[in-house]
């Protein structure tokens, strides 16, 4: 993979270099950033990369991404590209999302890209192209996702990619939207760790938690939350098993709070835009987590609890039911291999022929007790 140099600061200078490059501009590029805390490369979804590429090729000084990407802004300054994100505040304690990360534009000439990195004040940054090799403290390698590629020069990805809430068909096949576009999907997620008055789980900001600590809302609730968000409502209510919960929005923020007044619980909620493949991986992680917890020895499970325990109740995240968000007392598996609390899934199946988590048809309503997972839940509770 080769690099396309970012034009120097100044709109005129950048336009001049862009004009010289235009005739030989390659067909496809991706935009990516380096997570400064989790040390991983994050590729911008196509619908977001289109906006960045269009701003870059028009010699703009910045690209405001808005609600579709954490209210972040990508800046083109002094020959470098970086992303900033405004602080996010919750409750009385509040917290702030890390706001700065380095960004690169990569021309696709292979299946992977290699990024040299270094630490600055304890956070990881990309080294600039052409920087001395001695500056590199770590090399980051990423597989370039085809679904994140955009046409160089304009940001267009003909036909234009759409952005919408996810549905069951996105998990059923890899077919594109009408016309061949790959959609970008709005997914609302709830944090598998609980919080009190602030968004802190075991002393760590929930925003810093890995993807394994976030679960997608079921399809109907996902659409309900997004509808309220788009309509600038202050809050929305939804059904979660036998309970009604509220999701409280903050103006200008893609993070929210889910509040259960009956059980006196709060969870951080976030809005992300992902590809179909990322959605499939997200759902797949839940199944893997339940299976791992069921197969793990008690001592192995206990060793991992320090990272996974919630602040309220000490529940390992893989013990939570995707429907109720509570620790399961009677975990059972459906025909597609996902695990739920028996009472919750029985109530669901009384009026549905589909999986709650995926929305896909179930071959049978039969339920199989997940006895191994139950034993691990009971052991952890002792």
Residue 309 has pLDDT above 50, yes or no: no
Average pLDDT, the chain: 78
pLDDT, residue 208, reads 66
Checking if the pLDDT of 15 tops 60, the result is no
Please say whether the beta carbons of 241 and 323 come within 8 A. yes
Q: How much of the chain, in percent, has pLDDT values that exceed 70? A: 73
Query: How many beta carbons lie within 10 A of that of residue 306, not counting itself?
Result: 8
Q: With beta carbons less than 8 A apart as the criterion, state whether 84 and 104 touch.
A: no
Q: Which domains does the chain have, with CATH numbers?
A: 28-163 (no CATH), 189-286 (3.30.720), 313-381 (3.30.40.10)
pLDDT in tens, 16-70: 444 444 445 557 999 999 998 888 899 998 889 999 999 999 889 999 988 878 8
Long-range contacts of 67-73 (CB under 8 A, 24+ apart): 67/229, 67/254, 67/271, 68/163, 68/184, 68/186, 68/273, 69/44, 69/45, 69/254, 69/273, 70/97, 70/254, 71/252, 71/253, 71/254
- On whether the pTM is more than 0.85, the answer is no
What is the per-residue pLDDT for 360?
A: 92
Q: What is the pLDDT of residues 265-280, one digit of tens each?
A: 888 899 988 888 889 8
């Amino acid at each position: 993979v080769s690099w396309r140099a970012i034009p120097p600061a100044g709109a005129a200078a950048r336009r001049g270099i862009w004009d010289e490059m235009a005739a030989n501009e390659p067909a496809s590029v991706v935009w990516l950033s380096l997570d400064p805390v989790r040390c991983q490369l994050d590729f911008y979804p196509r619908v977001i990369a289109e906006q960045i590429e269009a701003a870059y090729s028009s010699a703009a000084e910045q690209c405001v991404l808005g609600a579709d990407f954490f209210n972040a802004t990508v800046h083109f300054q002094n020959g470098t590209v970086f992303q900033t994100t405004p602080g996010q505040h919750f409750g009385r304690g509040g917290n702030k999302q890390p706001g700065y990360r380095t960004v690169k534009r990569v021309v696709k000439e292979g299946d992977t890209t290699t990024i040299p990195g270094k630490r600055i004040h304890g956070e990881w940054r990309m080294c600039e192209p052409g920087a001395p090799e001695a500056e590199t403290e770590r090399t980051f390698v990423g597989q370039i996702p085809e679904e994140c590629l955009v046409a160089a020069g304009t940001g267009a990805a003909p036909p234009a990619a759409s952005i919408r809430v996810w549905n069951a068909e996105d998990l059923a096949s890899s077919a594109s939207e009408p016309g061949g576009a790959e959609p970008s999907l709005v997914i609302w997620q709830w944090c598998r760790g609980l919080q009190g008055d602030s968004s802190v789980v075991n002393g760590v900001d929930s925003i810093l938690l890995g993807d394994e600590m976030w679960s997608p809302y079921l399809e109907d609730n996902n659409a309900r939350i997004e509808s309220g968000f788009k309509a600038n409502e202050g809050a929305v209510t939804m059904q979660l098993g036998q309970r009604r919960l509220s999701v409280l929005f903050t103006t200008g923020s893609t993070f929210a709070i889910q509040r259960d007044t009956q059980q006196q619980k709060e969870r951080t909620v976030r809005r992300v835009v992902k590809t179909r493949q990322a959605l499939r991986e997200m759902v797949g992680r839940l199944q893997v987590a339940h299976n791992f917890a069921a197969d793990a020895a008690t001592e192995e499970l206990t060793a991992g609890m320090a990272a996974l325990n919630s602040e309220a109740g000490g529940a390992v995240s893989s013990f939570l039911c995707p429907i109720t968000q509570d620790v399961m007392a009677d975990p059972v598996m459906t025909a597609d291999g996902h695990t739920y609390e028996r009472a919750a899934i029985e109530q669901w199946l009384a009026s549905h022929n589909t999986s709650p988590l995926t929305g896909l048809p179930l071959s049978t309503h039969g339920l199989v007790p997940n006895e191994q997972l139950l034993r691990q839940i009971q052991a952890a509770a002792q």
